[in-house]
Amino acid sequence: MLRSIAVLLLAAELAAAHADTVKGAVIFSRHGDRTWKGAPPTTLTAVGQQQLYNSSTYWRSRWLDSVSGYQIVNLSEDVYNSAQFSAATPDQPLLVTSGQVFLQGLYPPLNETSEHPLSGYQYVPLATIPSDSPASIWLKGDDGCPAYDDLADRWNSTAEFKALEASTKDFYLSFYDNIFAGVLPKSKLSYSNAYNIFDYVNVGMVHNKTISNSISQEELFQLRTLADSAEWAKAGAISSANDPLAVSGLTFSSKVLQQLQAIVDSKGTKNLLNVNIGSYDTMLSFFALAGLPSVNANFYGLPDYASTLAFELYSHTDAFPGDLSELKVRFLFRNGTDAPAESFRLFDSSTAALSWADFKAGMEKISLKSVEEWCAFCSSTEDYCLPYKQETRAVTKEVAGVIGAVVTLGVLIVAAVVAAVAGVRISRRTKLGSVAVIAGGKQFDEASSYAGSKL
């Protein structure tokens, strides 16, 4: 059933004949629906498992199915081949479980019950990367990065943060009696805890009828928008690729480039599909570095559960081109699991189809290329940084000024929350379009955020 749905979602894309042949791909997935992060251990729910299975089935229909116009050339359609495929995730239980479910949909059982247990279940390896390994930086670059922690913490001391903290206090306290009594003390019901509050409510909307019956859609939207702004301030509010806030996007960009380069180096015979599982903060950081919010304002918001971003390497020839100028790359994003993936322009380009050379140049500008470079960038004291000579990385005026990048977003959020408390009319123009928050006869354009919650 799920495979049929995935195929139908691709039907519109495949209706028109095209000459593209995909040579390889890299995908990054967020985990699925889970329990509240504020009450560890956080675990993947049955809903989350279905989301991830739906997602991987969708991508299987695109890249592995022989009826797809986007099937990856030379990639085994049904049987896992270690030379062609890789999968990795930080060694965190929620992400590991998410990766395991994702792989089940990508490579389903072979139905060879006479020889294999579990109806031919395929044991596809998932590399789990411990936090004390230097390899951990590529999918979680902000962990163990003091320069990032220092700058992210500074947001809480800015005038913009303090204004939001004061203006939203009554809004947050209004949820105490019906929802948070016995869960969080009143002192924690404020903008400084915006993500944790939204996360509790967001989880409850699926799994707790008391909460879902106590929150209006307008209130949920305001909680989500405030969480968007708080998380963007700590991951996406950057002014250049030199900002510590961008570190997780910088390492992720390097990882993607490494994996695509391996496909090019093998001339499309090895490492054809690469799966990475991680957190939404890595997505937000990459969105900012790649200039995606200027293409679509929704990229300011939190991506939904099981959202995926992908990079396809392709050409207009069946064989791998001898001339690399014929190679192209497209970036795809699928928000959640209810709609097809969409292609978006990167690096302020005029087209979503980038030449391999232009894509590589763009990614190199937003990449930290080695563990040594990351150690210096972060002023990290991790054990694996000890062999490298480090100098103290001072936060410059330019970097400190990054916090100001959220001023405009903060002003809009204040207006939105004040309007929410007073009673507002919120209208969605399109499912993924902008949202107008109307108060006192004045309209504020607000980015329609991707609802979700952080690992």
What is the rounded average pLDDT for all residues in the chain? 84
Q: Hey, where are the domains in the chain?
A: 2-140+240-373, 146-237+402-446
Comparison of pLDDT for 30 and 111, the residue scoring more: 30
Q: Please write the tens of the pLDDT for every residue from 74-93.
A: 999 999 999 999 999 999 99
Distance CA 344, CA 63 (A): 19
Integer Cα distance of 281 and 275 in angstroms = 17
Tell whether the torsion through CA atoms of 200, 201, 202 and 203 is positive or negative: positive
Separate counts of helices (H) and strands (E) for the chain? 15, 11
Task: Tell whether the model's pLDDT for residue 454 goes beyond 90.
Answer: no
pLDDT tens string 143-196:
999 999 999 999 999 999 999 999 999 999 999 999 999 999 999 999 999 999
| DSSP SS3 for 36 | coil
Residue 119 has pLDDT above 90, yes or no: no
* Global model pTM greater than 0.85: no
pLDDT tens for 227-286 read: 999 999 999 998 888 999 999 999 999 999 999 999 999 999 999 999 999 999 999 999
| 378-417 tens-digit pLDDT | 999 999 999 987 454 444 334 334 334 433 444 344 444 4
- DSSP assignment string, 336-401: TTSS--EEE--TT-SSS-EEHHHHHHHHHHT---SHHHHHHHHT---GGGTTS--------HHHHG
CATH class of 2-140+240-373: alpha beta
pLDDT digits (tens, 9 = 90+) for 329-367: 999 999 999 999 999 999 999 888 999 999 999 999 999
* Helix or strand (DSSP H, E) at 334: strand 328-334
Fill in the DSSP letter of residue 44: B
The CA distances from residue 178 to 39, 141, 183, 352, in Å, are 19, 38, 11, 47
Write b or e for each residue in 204-237: b if 16 or more Cβ atoms lie within 10 A of its Cβ, otherwise e: bbeeeeebeeebeeebbbbbbbbbbbbbbbbbbb
pLDDT-based confidence at residue 455 (cuts at 50, 70, 90): low
Q: Return the SS3 of 306.
A: coil
pLDDT band at 452 (very low <50, low <70, confident <90, very high): very low
Q: Concatenated DSSP letters for 52-82?
A: HHHHHHHHHHHHT-TT-TTPBTT--SSS--T
Residue-wise DSSP of 213-240 = TT--HHHHHHHHHHHHHHHHHHHT--SS
Q: Which of 353, 344, 339 is nearest to 10 (CA)?
A: 339
Amino acid at 403: I
445: tokens are 């354009």
